[in-house]
Structure 1
Amino acid sequence: MTAMDLDRLTAIDVHTHAEISRSGHRSLSPELFGASEEYFKAHGHRQPSIGETAAYYRERGMAAVVFTVDAEHATGHPRIANEEVAESCAEHPDVLIPFASVDPWKGRAGVREARRLVAEHGVRGFKFHPSIQGYAPNDPMAYPLYEAIEELGVPALFHTGQTGIGAGVPGGGGIRLKFSDPMLVDDVAVDFPELRIVLAHPSFPWQDEALAVAVHKPYVYIDLSGWSPKYFPPQLVRYANTLLKDKVLFGSDYPVITPDRWLADFAKLDIKPEVRPKILKDNAARLLGLTSKETPA
């Protein structure tokens, strides 16, 4: 398979999920997965393999960041192996970019895993979902892991705002929304000033807080996944057009939201012509350290 050619890509989707393993194991428990389907009105949506995801994006001339979520400590549900995600993405280097997810509760074992995943498996970043993983992002127990990621020079992507996972389940399936307040990630940006951070999603009900953090901290970005652009709050659109034009990233949340739907609605949004390519590709390419023709690993 050929290496990634940035010039041939129309967009880079920085937020897609590996929801099912080769063996058929799901990334979420049946209860939480069912709640997510209900929330996104995605009943019975087919969970694509990573190979199918690659074909989907290749057909559209786009690349995608792919990850799962490791929340074994809080949920007791076994994760999809990071190695499997990375190896599957390595089979499609022209369109897929592997991220990993390491449960911060794993302590020093998690730090060793993060270093190994970057060194041996070509992982390009890490995904955190504090509400599912059951921790506050500014909890010092997670700091050794952040320190390693900062040293490795790859981004950390944090879920922020409300989540469809656990929505409607009694007690929210044990998921606490407060852990996804972007102001908790502001502490991380202060304590790890060289760490590249992505605040995932329009951060309802903390949109203004997310914008403030991204404006104030030079290495904090925002991805636009999980919402159709037609529902974006006006202040998010305004900042994306101005102060944050170099720090806002296209993300879909595939497969629950497809890039086809997202891009169709984004085309109707009042975004300046010169800003569109930044959001769709250029900002992500810079953040991820991509070049026009990457050398195969």
Structure 2
Amino acid sequence: MNVDELVAVDVHVHVEVGADGHLSLPQHLMSGSAAYFKVAERTKTVAEIAAYYRERRMAAVVFTVDAGSATGHPPIASEEIAAACAEHPDVLIPFASVDPWRGKAAVRQARALIEKYGVRGFKFHPGLQAFHPNDPVAYPLYEVLAEHGTIALFHSGQTGIGAGLPGGGGIRLKYANPLLVDDVAVDFPELPIILAHPSFPWQDEALAVATHKPTVHIDLSGWSPKYFPPQLVRYANTLLRDKVLFGSDFPVLTPDRWLADFDTLEIKPEVRPMILRDNAVRLLRLADA
């Protein structure tokens, strides 16, 4: 990966279909999410995602979510995604996902994904996976990540998954309060953490955690920048200028749409490339690679 040629690094890209056509979520959640975001249902493979970002001279962090215990739906294997990413190292950065409720098996899988498959981080979706980030059940996983300097990326705030479905598709928003991740940052002070999304309705809590804990970052995925809360823009321009990251939430929000709206945002000229590329290059150690 030639980082000098990249115009941006998208740190939040979902793989929603496996090589065999298996979907990342149950069909009712996939359909509900597509309706909520007003997009067609998504079926891009890892290779198609690579081509999409290569055309735009961007790198992409890609992952799925393993919520098998909570949903009863088998995930796309993170091993499959990592192996596919290895065929496109010029544009793709593999993250993984493991189900915290699988206990020791999840810990063994996480270690193998790091050591054998070279994944650079893990995506956790507390609402979809039905766990509090500070639940001790997940702490053995965090220990493995911290040991290897591997990033933990947590969904935070409301989710489009299940939105509008009866009972929200069974997804409880309480798990996604970023203050729960504050405990993780205290108990694992060397663990690099990303809070994904503007954390509605807990935006101020996310900003507080990110300013207080040195290892906590915020990605801007899942929302068009024109809807960002004013305090998020203010902190991105000032106190958190080196800790805020571009993310789209592709395929529900494309980088083209996100970047077009970002162009209209009042971001200082010197901060703009930090958000779009430089902060991610440093956090992901892309220059070292």
Tell me the TM-score normalized by structure 2.
Answer: 0.99
Aligned: 1:114 with 2:110: yes
Greater RCO, CA 8 A, separation 6+: 1
Trace 1:29-178 onto structure 2 (pairs within 5 A).
29-42=26-39, 44-178=40-174
SS in 1 for 2:12: strand
2:19 counterpart residue number:
22
Trace 1:237-276 onto structure 2 (pairs within 5 A).
237-276=233-272
SS in 2 for 1:198: strand
SS in 1 for 2:34: helix
Aligned: 1:227 with 2:206: no
Report the residue type matching 1:176 in the other structure: R
SS in 2 for 1:99: strand
Report the residue type matching 1:123 in the other structure: V
Distance 1:46 1:33, change over 3 A: closer
1:13 counterpart residue number:
10
Distance in 1, Cα, partners of 2:110 & 2:149: 12
Answer yes or no: is the 8 Å Cα contact 2:30–2:41 preserved in 1.
no
Q: Shift of residue 169 of structure 1?
A: 1.1
SS in 1 for 2:16: coil
Cα-to-partner distance string for 1:64-111 (whole Å, 9 max, x where unaligned): 000000000100000000111001110000000000001111111111
Q: Shift of residue 173 of structure 1?
A: 1.1
Report the residue type matching 2:12 in the other structure: H
SS in 1 for 2:93: strand
Trace 1:179-190 onto structure 2 (pairs within 5 A).
179-190=175-186
Q: Shift of residue 9 of structure 1?
A: 0.4
Distance in 1, Cα, partners of 2:150 & 2:281: 13
Report the residue type matching 1:261 in the other structure: R
Report the residue type matching 2:281 in the other structure: A
Q: Shift of residue 46 of structure 1?
A: 3.7
Q: Shift of residue 39 of structure 1?
A: 1.0
Aligned length: 289
Distance in 1, Cα, partners of 2:254 & 2:43: 12
Aligned pair partner of 2:285 in 282, 286, 289: 289
Tell me the TM-score normalized by structure 1.
Answer: 0.96
Cα-to-partner distance string for 1:203-223 (whole Å, 9 max, x where unaligned): 000000000000000000000
Answer yes or no: is the 8 Å Cα contact 2:17–2:76 preserved in 1.
yes
Report the residue type matching 1:9 in the other structure: L
Distance 1:110 1:46, change over 3 A: closer
SS in 2 for 1:97: strand
Distance in 2, Cα, partners of 1:52 & 1:154: 26
Distance in 1, Cα, partners of 2:169 & 2:262: 32
Displacement over 2 Å in runs of 4+? none
Cα-to-partner distance string for 1:132-167 (whole Å, 9 max, x where unaligned): 001100101110001111101110000000001011
**Gap regions ≥5 residues in structure 2:** none
SS in 1 for 2:116: helix
CA RMSD of aligned residues (A): 0.8
User: Percent of aligned positions with the same letter in both sequences?
Assistant: 72
SS in 2 for 1:257: coil
Report the residue type matching 2:245 in the other structure: L
Answer yes or no: is the 8 Å Cα contact 2:220–2:248 preserved in 1.
yes
Distance in 2, Cα, partners of 1:167 & 1:57: 28
Aligned pair partner of 2:210 in 197, 209, 214: 214
